[in-house]
Structure 1
Amino acid sequence: MAAPLLLSDLYIYPVKSLGGIRLTEATVEPRGLRHDRRWLIVDERNRFMTQRQTAAMAHLKVSPAYNGFLLSHQQRPELLPLYVPFTATPEKTLFVTIWDDMVFAWRAKPECDEWLSEALGQPAKLVYMSDMVRRDVEPEHNPEGQLVSFADGYPFLLIGQESLNELNTRLAEPVEMDRFRPNLVFSGGEAFAEDAWEYFSIGDLQFRAVRGCGRCVLTTINPHTAQKHPQGEPLRTLAAYRTEGSKVMFGQNVTGSGSGFLRVGDSLTPR
């Protein structure tokens, strides 16, 4: 008898393009898991910054703290960790650009901007997306009018553990799941089983797998050392057998249909 499909890991990424926090349970909200990618780092033109263009961001680490998180620099211990609350206040606002979207955001406290600018060696600001902001999922894949945070395009990213296990059989040096920055990880089933799903449930909550996730150079950066793989792994190996059109696919972009709670160990059922 096949092993049941179970939710095996939950992750949130409080700041877009920085590290994640592993959870045992999480609250599902209209634009994703609570506290996931609600903060964003922007440059002096108020345009979003990621590790794709700003490699120094790979040195910034995120760790949980009471009602928020700590940012630290793994190569500069003299730069004391910065506490950031999970939410901000609307004292100051500005418009920011993320991909093709322009939305208004709340400014963090000035000391956050100062810390980030020093850590990254260039002007940087930290901004927060409030519940009042409307940023829609890609229109052509969004008949339900789903919302998204500062994530690239979708509220959730789902990956099967067996998909990673299969990839690792092809790599000289295995990689961990955090290389791919999922929100939802499940155990059981066959490798890449998630590619064939559309609707599925986790516990009592309903989800829709909208389309595969095209991967970028970010996957070649070791999140623990901030070092880029000299041969471009695992993206190079994935490209050999997971290329669709011009994109290398790994994981599924997912939308939800309600609010509630997820817990590690919840059953997952494709519909």
Structure 2
Amino acid sequence: MATLTELNVYPLKGGGGTSLDAADLTPRGLRHDREFMLVTPEGRFLSQRDHARMALLRPSYDGELLTVGAPETAPLVHKAVGNGAVLDVTVHRSQCQGIDQGDEAADWLSLFLDAECRLVRFTGNRATSRGGGELAFADGYPLLLISAESLADLNTRLDRPLPMNRFRPNLVIEGLGPYAEDGITRLRIGDTELELVKDCARCLVTTTDQETAERGREPLRTLATYRTRDGGIRFGRNAIPRTPGPLTKGAPVTVLT
């Protein structure tokens, strides 16, 4: 039987993940996932693609306080602002809006990254490019799902195995088999249901060590030899919630189609 073995939420887009034992699955994905984002003064989003040090940020969010830890500095403890200035921001080519979270948070994050930025909190509505889903500041879809056996197979091809956090999934499922997610369009986890709508194209972020922020050549070099299709390197699947509800680690997973 397949089971859900990891639940990961990323309250700050581009920052580290928080591993959970239980989470609420909402139409926008796991509750609070990518609810906050860093943007340039012009409103363009920041990510590990350009700022590898973002991997060292360790955010957690309880619905009121966003706490961001980082090496060799006192953590940022920020009370989320719901009534600040609304900024027009972009995620890739997607236009959306965020509530500015004030100067203290902006100064702390700008100093750590050595790059001028503002912290914003998602507001408004944003649709996926296909599938009729909703999302906050995630790149294009509210969920990323990976089979544990897919990573195990990749690691047999690498000189040094990599941890799952290189791929930053929300959901990890064990028992499907290597790359079985490629052929799944709908599955049930506990009482929730997801539609898997798109292979996930992988980028430079996967080559960034999430503990040290150092970059290498793997896994993209190896993945390119056997996981290239439609002009991109594919690993994992993007998904849209169809039946929201509670999720818990260890929940049974059933492939529907």
Sort the TM-score into its range (normalised by shorter chain): over 0.9
What residue number does 2:76 align with? 82
Structure 1 unaligned regions, length at least 5: none
Counterpart Cα distance in 2 of 1:47 and 1:201? 36
What residue number does 1:199 align with? 186
What residue number does 2:54 align with? 57
Q: Is 1:176 the counterpart of 2:163 in the alignment?
A: yes
Of residues 21, 27, 34 in structure 2, which corresponds to 1:37? Answer: 34
Contact 1:13/1:37 (CA < 8 Å) preserved in 2?
A: yes
Counterpart Cα distance in 1 of 2:52 and 2:164? 20
Q: Could you list the per-position Cα deviations for residues 58-102 of structure 1 after superposition, in whole angstroms to 9, with x for gaps in the alignment? A: 33233567954422332xx1x3210135x5312222111111122
Of residues 138, 146, 154 in structure 2, which corresponds to 1:151? Answer: 138
Contact 1:97/1:103 (CA < 8 Å) preserved in 2?
A: yes
The verdict on how the C-alpha distance between 1:157 and 1:46 changes in structure 2, with shifts beyond 3 A counting, is same
Of residues 243, 252, 266 in structure 1, which corresponds to 2:228? Answer: 243
Counterpart Cα distance in 1 of 2:17 and 2:157? 26
Q: TM-score, normalised to structure 1's length? A: 0.90
> What one-letter code is carried by the residue in structure 1 that aligns with 2:102?
K
Question: Secondary structure, in 3 states, of the residue corresponding to 2:153?
Answer: helix
Structure 2 unaligned regions, length at least 5: none
Contact 1:13/1:19 (CA < 8 Å) preserved in 2?
A: yes
Counterpart Cα distance in 2 of 1:88 and 1:264? 31
> What one-letter code is carried by the residue in structure 2 that aligns with 1:70?
T
Q: Could you list the per-position Cα deviations for residues 97-129 of structure 1 after superposition, in whole angstroms to 9, with x for gaps in the alignment? A: 111122221111321001011111121100001
Counterpart Cα distance in 1 of 2:65 and 2:156? 37
Q: TM-score, normalised to structure 2's length? A: 0.95
> What one-letter code is carried by the residue in structure 1 that aligns with 2:112?
A
Question: Secondary structure, in 3 states, of the residue corresponding to 1:257?
Answer: strand
Q: What are the within-5 Å matches in structure 2 for residues 41-190 of structure 1? A: 41-63=38-60, 67-74=64-71, 77=72, 79-85=73-79, 87-130=80-123, 133-138=124-129, 141-142=130-131, 145-190=132-177
Moved more, 18-27 or 103-112: 103-112
Identity percentage over the alignment?
39
Counterpart Cα distance in 1 of 2:78 and 2:152? 35
Q: Is 1:215 the counterpart of 2:208 in the alignment?
A: no
Q: When the two structures are aligned, how many residues end up with a matched partner?
A: 256
Counterpart Cα distance in 2 of 1:68 and 1:11? 18
Contact 1:21/1:64 (CA < 8 Å) preserved in 2?
A: no
